[in-house]
Amino acid sequence: MGPGQHFEGRPHFAEEMRPQGYMGKGFLQRHQDLALPSRPELWTDDQVFLAVCARGDDCTGNLILGEESLNRFLNSVPQPINRDDYPQRAVDQLAAGAGSSAGGEQPKFAGYSQGRHVLVKFADASSGTAGQRWCDLLVCEYLALEAVRAAGLDAAEAEWFTLGAQRFLEVNRFDRVGPRGRRPLLSLGAIDHEHIGDGGKWIPVSQRLLAEGLITQEDDRRIRWLDTFGQLIGNTDRHNGNISFFMDAPKRFRLAPIYDMLPMVFAPAGGTHLVPRPFEPAPPTSHTVDVWADASRHALAYWDTLIASQDLSEEFRQRCVTCRAQLEELIARVPVQGTV
């Protein structure tokens, strides 16, 4: 048993565990017996604790709160699912909501497949232009993770495949170890909320964490690189829930593999309507000047990969041609050269 700790409000780890995003939308429907309000984002501290202590047996990270949630976990056994079952699982998820508390708005479900805990994102090309766009973006996400890995940084292991008109992106969960093991994991937002209170974006929060000795200088550099690369590939969804850390010791955090890295500038509005959004690659700042040249080189190579991919629709690839030209023009006029 470790020392106790007093929190004035809801602890950061409980906030991380609460139902949220696409996979939290079905929580109320599946657990009507808890009689919780219809908008989880407005729950009181007591209501959040009721949810995670009664039905929190599969939350992000390694913690399980409450006797009921612990008993549910101890009485459960991972139920393997085959890829051939994914199309029906996707239909079921759309009809009835999700199973885990993992965040994010992209349709997805959690499963145990081929000896791994995975999150499976899905899209249906037959559902119209928005469906085709999401199919393109699933491939883009896979390729972005590969690009990050090629640059020497850790990224979530993923694989995409198509079954009929449906496309799936299977992402390995790095907060799980084997069938039953778990690893502590906290988002940048949760760490900021507990230790800094900045409420800012990736780089300002990272700089504060470095100053407080909570992360290493190398992880701060990685975060600045990832933020730069993300901006240069049109990832407009770089919120503080989309980057996470392992907790090596109290007040000591280590950057986890990156995930949810893709050109969200192309994402359908509200998930269903295609709307034009400007891609505006930005020059370096005083905080990114040392990583910008390397990140921009990898971003340009990423756009080249998308343009050459036969797995993307022709309409989408043409949009990538335009974005690549914009980035190339910016690189030509920015007085920053070399790599780091």
Contacts of 335 (CB under 8 A, 6+ apart): none
To the nearest 10°, the Cα dihedral for 172, 175, 177, 180? Answer: -110
Q: Which helix (H) or strand (E) holds 181?
A: strand 181-182
Instruction: List the catalytic residue out of 136, 175, 237, 294.
Output: 237
Helices (H), the chain: 12-17, 21-24, 27-30, 45-55, 67-74, 86-96, 129-150, 188-191, 202-211, 217-232, 292-308, 314-333
What is the three-class DSSP state of 176?
strand
DSSP classification of residue 147: H
The backbone torsions φ and ψ at residue 52, rounded to the nearest 5 degrees and listed phi first, read -75, -25
Contacts of 192 (CB under 8 A, 6+ apart): 198, 199, 200, 205, 208, 209, 240
Q: Is 246 in contact with 157 (CB distance < 8 Å)?
A: no
Q: What span, in angstroms and rounded, lies between the C-alpha atoms of 172 and 46? A: 32
Known catalytic membership, residue 237: yes
Q: Is 220 in contact with 209 (CB distance < 8 Å)?
A: yes
Evaluated on CA atoms 60, 66, 72, 76, the torsion sign reads positive
What count of residues does the chain have? Answer: 340
Structure tokens, 9: 């409000």
- Active-site positions read 237
